Amino acid sequence: HPTDGKVYDVMVAGGGPAGSSVAAFAAMQGHRVLLLEKEEFPRYQIGESLLPSTVHGICGLLGVTEELESAGFVRKRGGTFRWGSNSEPWSFDFALSEKFAGPTSYAYQVERAKFDQLLLDNARRKGVEVRERCAVRDVLEDDGRVRGVRYTDPDGAERTVHAQFVVDATGNQSRLQRYIGGQRRYSDFFQNIALFGYFEGGRRLPSPNSGNITCVAFPSGWFWYIPLSDTLTSVGAVVRKECADQVRGDRAEALSALIADCPLIADYLSDARRVTSGRYGEVRVRKDWSYLHDTFWQPGMALVGDSVGFIDPLFSSGVHMATYSALLAARSLNTALRGDLGERECFAEYEARYRKEYQSFHDFLVNFYDVNRDEQQYFEVARRVTRDTAPGAGAFVGLVGGGASDEAALTSESYRDKRKKDLLDQSRAVHHEGHRIQLQAAFGEAVDDTPLSADGLVVSQDGMHWEKSVTSSTV
């Protein structure tokens, strides 16, 4: 096959949020990055409800805050649930967690075609060479290391390209993940099926909750109701496997029947009509989405985003996990490419941190699916799975806003300052001056980070690399 002459530092397959983020984070460090995307953007994707950790954390690091602000996306202040033993809907605000409190305690509901385009264009501006309509077929391996990929170009010709690292960000349908070794482990617990469409003219909650996601439990599962503009709403039924019969046959009819079974959603949509043409004209089905790959990387290659794992749409963790994995993997790539640390150590850090965040969401979601509890009990579960002692809804909102990891990059400035102060106060309290100096040295002015384990790495001052933890090795 013809070979692209250039050898890249990083080759990213897939231009969704995970792919465009990891590519941009590597290019911003001066690395030569190529991104191959199968489709021509803008293209449709599901996953419209975002979290503050993505909007103000990752998107801030990517430098798209102002562009996002002016894109006209609906502001999401929190969530409204008709769920659990409480028969009345209850709401939470992201501001209830000190991790997001302040002027940035909101996220957006986005049309993914526009959001993903914005991120991909940003990757281009950051120096990534982006080629659309290029489908990656398989990887080139040599001597136990991935060294590039084979792909089909827009004219249908097969080509190869070489890179020091290949990142698979091709999402749920990834065919490349099988080259990583190990396998996708599907959840025994989450085996839901989603059926979804778009409506014009659906009702809005009164201000200030009009931009909230609404989730409503009903006999076969639950509904999401996501306002994408003043008039357009994304509506989806997430149906338990035992009720799969209700999703068979004509999709539009099946969705109408499910809506009729859920009085609150039926009421919200009583004056609305389903969109039947254009990008939103189809009623779509998705299933088999709850899995985690048991290997994250092999020499020369890593998985990010949905290619690695996804849990469940409830609590909108998908884009957060995808972009957080992109940040973690980018730190590993940047550190290994600079030659500071070996790739094994770097990617082990990515994997450990991702798994911890995945586990928190997973364990919380398993408990939340038990609809016999009330909010206070759900909040208690959140405290337990995150080991966050924040009172009331604090730990719950910290988790479902995407802040369970305590990653400085994903939380608000005021929280970062407070955390740094708390850590320094703690070391002062034990009169451990050496410890205090080392904490300062490790965290610098900008970053506060603690290693996950005794031999774990910490985030570098620039936020884009890993480094050895001074405290863990000497205190």
Which residues of this protein are in contact with ligand FAD, per CB under 6 A? 13-19, 36-39, 45-50, 135-136, 169-173, 194, 286, 289, 305-306, 310, 313, 316, 318-320, 322
Q: For the purposes of burial, counting CB atoms within 10 Å of the CB of 251, is it exposed (0-12), middle (13-18) or buried (19 or more)?
A: middle
Q: Identify which of residues 304 and 457 has a Cβ nearer to ligand FAD in the complex.
A: 304
Handedness of CA 358, 364, 367, 371 (dihedral sign): negative
Q: Identify which of residues 97 and 109 has a Cβ nearer to ligand FAD in the complex.
A: 109
Report whether 62 contacts 124 (CB < 8 A).
no
Q: Identify which of residues 224 and 378 has a Cβ nearer to ligand FAD in the complex.
A: 224
Q: Name which of 363, 82, 320 is nearest 223 in CA terms.
A: 82
DSSP 206: P
**What span, in angstroms and rounded, lies between the C-alpha atoms of 348 and 180?**
14
Written as six digits, the tokens of 154 are 């827009």
Q: Identify which of residues 107 and 442 has a Cβ nearer to ligand FAD in the complex.
A: 107
Q: How far is the CB of 324 from ligand FAD (least distance, A)?
A: 11
Q: Identify which of residues 269 and 308 has a Cβ nearer to ligand FAD in the complex.
A: 308
Q: Identify which of residues 39 and 67 has a Cβ nearer to ligand FAD in the complex.
A: 39
CB atoms within 10 A of CB 373: 17
Q: How far is the CB of 232 from ligand FAD (least distance, A)?
A: 15
**What span, in angstroms and rounded, lies between the C-alpha atoms of 246 and 239?**
8
Q: Identify which of residues 10 and 439 has a Cβ nearer to ligand FAD in the complex.
A: 10
Q: Name which of 83, 315, 400 is nearest 216 in CA terms.
A: 83
Q: Identify which of residues 225 and 396 has a Cβ nearer to ligand FAD in the complex.
A: 225
**What span, in angstroms and rounded, lies between the C-alpha atoms of 111 and 395?**
29
Helix axes 375-386, 343-368, angle to 10 degrees: 160
Q: How far is the CB of 389 from ligand FAD (least distance, A)?
A: 27
Q: For the purposes of burial, counting CB atoms within 10 Å of the CB of 157, is it exposed (0-12), middle (13-18) or buried (19 or more)?
A: exposed
Q: Which residues contact 377 (CB under 8 A, 6 or more apart)?
A: 84
Q: How far is the CB of 305 from ligand FAD (least distance, A)?
A: 2
Q: Identify which of residues 157 and 437 has a Cβ nearer to ligand FAD in the complex.
A: 157
Q: How far is the CB of 48 from ligand FAD (least distance, A)?
A: 5
Q: How far is the CB of 227 from ligand FAD (least distance, A)?
A: 12
Q: Identify which of residues 16 and 84 has a Cβ nearer to ligand FAD in the complex.
A: 16
Q: How far is the CB of 16 from ligand FAD (least distance, A)?
A: 2
Q: Name which of 122, 227, 114, 112 is nearest 171 in CA terms.
A: 112
The number of residues in the chain equals 475
Q: How far is the CB of 72 from ligand FAD (least distance, A)?
A: 18
**What span, in angstroms and rounded, lies between the C-alpha atoms of 3 and 223?**
48
Q: How far is the CB of 426 from ligand FAD (least distance, A)?
A: 35
Report whether 334 contacts 464 (CB < 8 A).
yes
Half-sphere exposure of 108 (CA within 13 A, CB side): 20
Q: How far is the CB of 134 from ligand FAD (least distance, A)?
A: 6
Q: How far is the CB of 173 from ligand FAD (least distance, A)?
A: 6
Instruction: Give alpha helix (H) positions in 54-169.
Output: 59-62, 65-69, 112-125
CB atoms within 10 A of CB 84: 18
Please state the three-class secondary structure of 238-256 as a single string. EECHHHHHHHCCCHHHHHH
**What span, in angstroms and rounded, lies between the C-alpha atoms of 469 and 452?**
10
Q: Identify which of residues 34 and 269 has a Cβ nearer to ligand FAD in the complex.
A: 34
